[in-house]
Amino acid sequence: MVKICCIGAGYVGGPTMAVIALKCPSIEVAVVDISQHRINAWNSDQLPIYEPGLDDVVKRCRGRNLFFSVDVEKHVSEADIVFVSVNTPTKTRGLGAGKAADLTYWESAARMIADVSKSNKIVVEKSTVPVKTAEAIEKILTHNSKGIKFQILSNPEFLAEGTAISDLFNPDRVLIGGRETPEGQEAIKALKDVYAHWVPEDRILTTNLWSAELSKLAANAFLAQRISSVNAMSALCEATGADVTEVSYAVGKDTRIGPKFLNASVGFGGSCFQKDILNLVYICECNGLPDVAEYWKQVIKINDYQKNRFVNRVVSSMFNTVSNKKIAILGFAFKKDTGDTRETPAIDVCKGLLGDKALLSIYDPQVTIDQIQRDLTMNKFDWDHPLHLQPMSPTTVKQVSVVWDAYEAAKDAHGLCILTEWDEFKTLDYKRIYESMQKPAFVFDGRNVVNADQLREIGFIVYSIGKPLDAWLKDMPAVA
Ligand code: NAD
C-alpha cells in the first residue's frame, strides 16, 4: 500500500487529501499538523473549515484510509510521498518585508522531513511558493539526508474555496513539475498515477519544476487582474452612465476573453491573490524587472482603490458623515460558501467605516464573532501569523456588534452594506427591512446581488457597483 502524508491540515491540505483518500482506496493518507486544535476539529463532527460537500467526503473515508494526526514525525517517516501544504505568508519583517513569501514554516517542515526519514521519499510542494523554492528545499534535504534520496516535485493547487470539492473532483488541470532526470521523471510518474485514479490523463500536465512553481503565481495574478480590470471599468461606468454588467457581458462574449470572473465587486479577497501577487512583484524586482513588477502592483492598487471608493461612497451618500450611525454589514467572508475571512474586503470596508465612527452590526452565516473581532483588530498580514493576535481595542468593541440574523443587523440602521454574495441576501424581505430602518434608508450593494429597481420601488436609495447612479448619489459625489 502506498502511504501519503500531508504536512498542513488547512484549507488546501484537508480537502485535497480527503479527495485523494476517497478516490484512491488503496492509498493510506495521513494529514498532520502542529495545531492540536485543528486536528481535533478534523476528527470531530465540526470540521475546522466550511466547504460544501467536504463533510460527506471526510465521513466516507476517515478511519478507513484517511487519518488526521499531530504525530507529524511518525507519519512523515512512514510515508512514500510527503505533500507539504503549510502556510506561506507574506514576510512582515526583514528583507522583502511586505512582499516576499515567508518560508519559515516550509523550511522547518523540510528540515523535519530530512531528520526523521529512514527511506527514500518524494516530497511534493503543494503550498504556493516562489520560483526556485524547490532548489532551496532540495539543498536542505540533501545536505541533511543521511544517505536517503529525495525527489522534489511541484504540484501547486488550483482549487477555489467555496467550490473546493467539485474543483478537486473535476479539475481543469493537475500540474506536476519535476526534474528532467530519470529519477525526476519516475517521481512525476508516481504522482501522476495517484491523480490518474480519477483525473483524465490529458488533464494531467507535466513540466519542469520552475514552470510549475511560476504557473501557480501566474494563474492567480491573471485571475486577480481580471477582477481589477472589471472593477476599474466599474468606476468609469458610474462616471459615464454605462452599466458594468452590460459591458462585461458584451466583453465576455468574445471567445478570446470568455465570460467567467468578470463580475464587478467591492474587491477581491482571500488568502492567495494579494499574497501571491506581492510575491510575484518581489521576484520580478529581484530579477531586475522593475517595469514588470510595477505592472502587477497595479492589480493590488486598483483593488485597494475599489475598497476605498466603496467606503467613500457610503460616507458621502449619508451627508458626509457616518459618525454614530448604525450601519448593517451583510456578509463578512471573502466570498460565498466559505467561512474564510482572510484578506476579505469586509475588513477594509469595516475599518474604513469605523474610522469615520460608524456603529457596525455585522451578520455572516458562517463567520463567528471571535473571528470578526480578531479580523478587525489585526494588523496587515498578521492573519497568517496566528501568534501575533491582539485583543480587540475597547473603542472597537463599543462600535461593533455581531448578530445572527440579517433583520436584526438592519434594525434601526441608516444604511446596509452587502459585502459577500451569499444567496440568502437575494431573497431577504427587503420591505420588512426598509420598515425597520432609519430614513432615508440606503443599500450599498458591493456584490450586485439585489434587484436595485425593486428596492427603489420600496423606497431605498440604492448604490450598485458600476451601475447608473440614483439622482441622490449623483448629487453626493464620492472621491476615491
Ligand atoms: P492554512 O493556514 O489553512 O493551513 C496551513 C496549515 O499548516 C496550518 O494548519 C498550520 O498549523 C500548518 N503548519 C504550519 N507549519 C507546520 C509544520 N511545520 N508542521 C505541521 N503543520 C504545519 O493554509 P492553506 O489555505 O491551506 O494554504 C496552504 C498553502 O496552499 C499556501 O501556500 C497557500 O498559498 C496555498 N494555496 C491556498 C489555497 C486556498 O484557497 N486557501 C489555494 C491554493 C493554494
pLDDT in tens, 291-315: 999 999 999 999 999 999 999 999 9
Gap from CA of 339 to ligand 1 centroid (Å): 16
Torsion sign, CA atoms 384, 399, 368, 363 = negative
**What CATH number corresponds to the domain at position 336?**
3.40.50.720
Per-residue confidence (pLDDT) for residue 310, from 0 to 100:
97
One of 5, 272, 284, 417 is an active-site residue; which one?
272
Rounded Cα distance between 411 and 390, Å, is 30
Q: What residues pair up with 180 in beta bridges, in sequence order? A: none
Cβ distance 88 to 133 under 8 Å? no
Q: Which three cell numbers stand for residue 429?
A: 424581505
Question: 93 in a domain, yes or no?
Answer: yes
Grid cell 512583484 in the structure block, residue: 281
- The C-alpha angle with vertex 149 and arms to 144 and 151, in degrees rounded to 5, equals 105
- Please tell me whether residue 5 adopts helix, strand or coil conformation: strand
| Catalytic (active site) residue 272 | yes
For ligand 1, whether the C-beta of 33 sits within 6 Å is yes
Q: Supply the DSSP symbol for 243.
A: -
How far, in Å, are 44, 82, 156, 447 from residue 68 at the CA level?
Answer: 10, 14, 22, 37
As for the ipTM of the complex, it is: 0.98
What is the span of the domain harbouring residue 12?
A: 3-199
Distance CA 266, CA 330 (A): 13
How remote is the CA of residue 7 from the centroid of ligand 1, in Å? 9
Residue 383 is predicted with a pLDDT of 62
Q: How many residues does the chain have?
A: 480
Which pLDDT does position 381 carry in this prediction? 66
Tell me the per-residue pLDDT of 172-215, one tens digit each, with 9 for 90 and over.
Answer: 999 999 999 999 999 999 999 999 999 999 999 999 999 999 99
Whether residues 383 and 306 fall in one domain:
yes
Q: Strand, coil or helix: what is 12?
A: coil
The helix/strand count (H/E) of the chain reads as 19, 14
3-class secondary-structure state, position 406: helix
At 306, the amino acid letter reads Q
**Binned average pLDDT, 10 residues per bin, the chain of 480 residues:** 94 98 98 97 96 97 98 97 93 88 91 95 94 90 90 97 97 97 97 98 97 96 98 97 98 97 97 95 96 98 97 96 97 96 97 96 96 86 58 72 96 98 98 98 98 97 95 79
For the chain, give percent helix, strand, coil, nearest 5.
Answer: 45, 15, 40
Do 248 and 298 have their domain in common? yes
Does the beta carbon of 340 sit less than 6 angstroms from any atom of ligand 1? Answer: no
Is 99 contained in some domain?
A: yes
What strands, in cross-sheet order, belong to the sheet with 415-418? 400-402, 359-363, 326-330, 415-418, 442-445, 461-464
Tell me whether the omega of the peptide bond preceding residue 440 falls within 30 degrees of 0, making it cis: yes
> Distances in Å between the alpha carbon of 311 and those of 314, 327, 343, 347?
5, 12, 16, 11
Among residues 168, 199, 230, the one where a domain terminates is: 199
Find out whether the beta carbon of 84 lies less than 6 Å from any atom of ligand 1: no
Buried b / exposed e over 128-150, threshold 16 CB at 10 Å, is: bbbbebbebbbebbeebbeeeeb
What is the C-alpha separation between 372 and 332, in angstroms, rounded?
Answer: 8
Give the end of a domain, one of 199, 231, 265.
199
The answer to whether residues 321 and 380 belong to one domain is: yes
Whether 108 lines ligand 1, by a CB cut-off of 6 Å, is yes
Encoded amino acid at 421, one letter: E
453 and 337 co-located in one domain = yes
Pocket test for ligand 1, best of 35, 38, 87, 383 (most atoms within 8 A of CB): 87
Closest residue by Cα to atom 10, ligand 1, is: 8
Q: What does the block give as the cell for 437?
A: 430602518
Same domain, 174 and 274: no
On whether residue 422 sits in a domain, the answer given is yes
Has residue 473 been placed in a domain? no
| DSSP class per residue in 81-141 | EEEE-----B--SSTTTTTSB--HHHHHHHHHHHHH--S-EEEEE-S---TTHHHHHHHHH
The CB of 9 under 6 Å from ligand 1? The reply is yes
- Whether residues 409 and 262 share a domain: the answer is yes
C-alpha–C-alpha distance, residues 245 and 468, integer Å: 11
Annotated binding site for NAD(+): 8-13, 33, 38, 86-90, 127-128, 161, 272-275, 342
Answer yes or no: do 92 and 143 share one domain. yes
Burial class (CB in 10 A: 0-12, 13-18, 19+), 26: exposed
In a domain, 208, yes or no: no
Enumerate the H helices of 145-208 as residue ranges: 164-169, 182-195
Identify the pLDDT of residue 76.
97
Ligand 1 lined by 72 (C-beta under 6 Å): yes
Structural domain tally of the chain? 2
Looking at the structure, do residues 265 and 168 belong to the same domain, yes or no? no
| Residue 349 located in a structural domain | yes
Q: Phi/psi at 161 (nearest 5 deg)? A: -65, 145
Residues 95 and 38 in one domain: yes
217 in a structural domain = no
- Which of 199, 214, 231 is at the close of a domain? 199
Q: Where do we find the cell 464620492?
A: 478
| Residues 280 and 186 reside in one and the same domain | no
408 and 273 inside one domain: yes
One-letter identity of residue 24: C
Q: Which three cell numbers stand for residue 81?
A: 510521498
Positive/negative CA dihedral, 171, 177, 180, 184:
negative
- For helices 345-355 and 369-377, give the axis angle rounded to 10 degrees: 70
Do 99 and 278 contact (CB within 8 A), yes or no? yes
User: Could you tell me if residue 204 is inside a domain?
Assistant: no
Instruction: Characterize the bridge pairing of strands 461-464 and 27-32.
Output: unpaired
Same domain, 246 and 359: yes
Q: One-letter amino acid identity for 298? A: Q
Find residue 421's DSSP bridge partners: none
